[in-house]
């Protein structure tokens, strides 16, 4: 098998798998010896499993309880701000972000704390490139995740967020921006706007996350210009989990985390079964153990021709639980409950997610016999945006029309 170490961001990407496991196990022990003193949640998890931090093995992890992502808001509210999982002092953090839920996400001072530099390097981002970072810099951590990695790589970042499409297109064309970071749907919107100007897109590399990327969509976008699109898998709690190489044979798991595929009991799934992704974060700042993400995946078979030796996820194949990702943000039923409860004239509601073209659309159907339906629709839409940070279309329907399906959130995307 050809090896391409010269193209790796770090030598460990190509190290023998057995060596990687030994080094991760050693890192896990060092981490937990310290965290057992500083983190009540880590100490409780180790005690419940009767595992010693100084002798724990990677196989021992499956004896520890899962920490379910949808339970994090409650866990954190009972032990503010991080549910007892913080391994550092609060005053030593660089930032605290607020993800939907709400979930508080700490950031340490390490360069590239969120771990995206290897992923962006594999995607083709290099020193001196001008990069449009269209992820939000407000409250949620996505913008900062990539900002730190771009700084480490020596790229020049334009922190745009998702607003002001016309200004972003003009900036991209004026400056010759060659890199893009954001969701696939916003990349499609940006390229469509460039096409309207009849100018050639200067973009050459793009890294997308936060939404699913269908191969048909990737082929369509890459056909519009000499653009290479890569993708990665991350969560707001800890950053990068896995990333794509140019061979596109799956998502290489980064060695900053330990990934397990588990069933509902927390036991390891068999063979190549599709199962839930559980992640242990090897961080002294936030030593989360066995975070059950709610995302479903399976391990990819065989070795990758790129020479990277880490295990690979075949992709993200859906979710379990009630939370659903819309435009890169998790939508929780309890957030919608809180928003709709502000309007006493609404009896019941249902959220419907569709993707008629390239972007997700969120529609809230509310039952009400209010006389001024237009005013109610506007008011509910404002409450939903305040609670979820998502814009939604609101339809006011007659009482009894909503509960055609059982779930409060219905995903009709194909």
Q: Is residue 321 part of a domain?
A: no
- DSSP structure string for 358-393: SS-EEEEEEE---S-HHHHHHHHHHHHHHHHS---E
Q: Is residue 398 part of a domain?
A: yes
Contact 294, 331 (CB under 8 A): no
Q: Is residue 17 part of a domain?
A: no
**245 φ/ψ sector (left φ>0, alpha ψ -120 to 50, else beta):** beta
Q: Is residue 97 part of a domain?
A: no
**Residue showing tokens 């020596």:** 154
Q: Rounded CA gap, 75 and 106, in Å?
A: 15
pLDDT tens profile 191-250: 999 999 999 999 999 999 988 887 878 888 898 778 999 999 999 999 999 999 999 999
Q: Rounded CA gap, 103 and 82, in Å?
A: 8
pLDDT of residue 6: 58
User: Angle at the Cα of 294 (from 33 to 331), degrees rounded to 5?
Assistant: 120
Q: Is residue 166 part of a domain?
A: no
Q: Is residue 369 part of a domain?
A: yes
pTM score, whole prediction: 0.81
Q: Is residue 333 part of a domain?
A: yes
List of the chain residues with pLDDT < 50: 1-5
In terms of DSSP bridges, do strands 393-397 and 312-313 run parallel, antiparallel, or are they unpaired?
Answer: unpaired
Q: Is residue 249 part of a domain?
A: no
pLDDT of residue 50: 95
pLDDT of residue 1: 34
CATH number for position 359: 3.30.300.30
Residue 220, SS3? helix
Total domain count for the chain? 1
pLDDT of residue 405: 52
Q: Rounded CA gap, 202 and 194, in Å?
A: 10
Question: Which residue range forms the structural domain that includes residue 365?
Answer: 329-411
Residue among 278, 283, 282 nearest 106 (CA):
283
């Amino acid at each position: 098998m050809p090896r391409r170490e010269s193209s790796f961001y770090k030598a460990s990407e190509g190290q023998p798998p057995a060596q990687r496991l030994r080094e991760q196990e050693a890192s896990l022990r060092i981490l937990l010896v310290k965290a057992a003193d500083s983190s009540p949640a880590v100490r409780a998890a180790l005690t419940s499993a009767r595992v010693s931090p100084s002798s724990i093995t990677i196989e021992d992890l499956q004896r520890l309880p899962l920490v379910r992502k949808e339970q994090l808001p409650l866990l954190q509210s009972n032990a503010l701000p991080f549910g007892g999982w913080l391994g550092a002092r609060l005053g030593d953090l660089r930032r605290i972000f607020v993800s939907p839920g709400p979930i508080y996400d700490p950031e340490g001072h390490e360069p590239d704390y969120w771990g995206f530099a290897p992923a962006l390097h594999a995607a083709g981002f290099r020193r001196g490139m001008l990069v449009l970072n269209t992820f939000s810099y407000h409250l949620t951590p996505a913008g900062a995740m990539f900002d730190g990695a771009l700084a480490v790589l020596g790229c020049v970042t334009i922190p745009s967020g998702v607003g002001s499409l016309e200004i972003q297109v003009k900036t991209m064309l004026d400056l010759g921006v060659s890199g893009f970071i954001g969701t696939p749907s916003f990349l499609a919107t940006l390229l469509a706007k460039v096409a309207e100007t009849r100018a050639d897109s200067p973009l050459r590399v793009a890294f997308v996350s936060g939404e699913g990327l269908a191969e048909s969509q990737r082929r369509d976008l890459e056909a519009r210009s000499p653009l290479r699109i890569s993708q990665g898998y991350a969560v707001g709690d800890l950053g990068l989990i896995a990333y794509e190489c140019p061979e596109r044979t799956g998502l290489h798991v980064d060695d900053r985390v330990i990934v397990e595929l588990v069933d509902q009991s927390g036991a390891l799934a068999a063979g190549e079964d599709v199962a839930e992704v559980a992640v242990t974060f090897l961080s002294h700042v936030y030593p989360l153990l066995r975070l059950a993400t709610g995302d479903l995946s399976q391990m990819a078979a065989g070795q990758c021709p790129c020479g990277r030796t880490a295990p690979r996820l075949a992709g993200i194949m859906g979710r379990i639980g009630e939370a659903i990702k819309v435009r890169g943000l998790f939508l929780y039923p309890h957030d919608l409950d809180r928003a709709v409860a502000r309007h006493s004239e609404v009896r019941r509601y249902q959220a419907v997610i569709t993707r008629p073209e390239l972007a997700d659309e969120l529609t809230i159907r509310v039952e009400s016999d209010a006389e001024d339906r237009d005013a109610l629709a506007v008011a509910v839409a404002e409450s939903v945006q305040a609670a979820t940070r998502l814009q939604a279309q609101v339809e006011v329907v007659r009482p009894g029309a909503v509960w055609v399906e059982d779930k409060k959130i219905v995903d009709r995307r194909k």
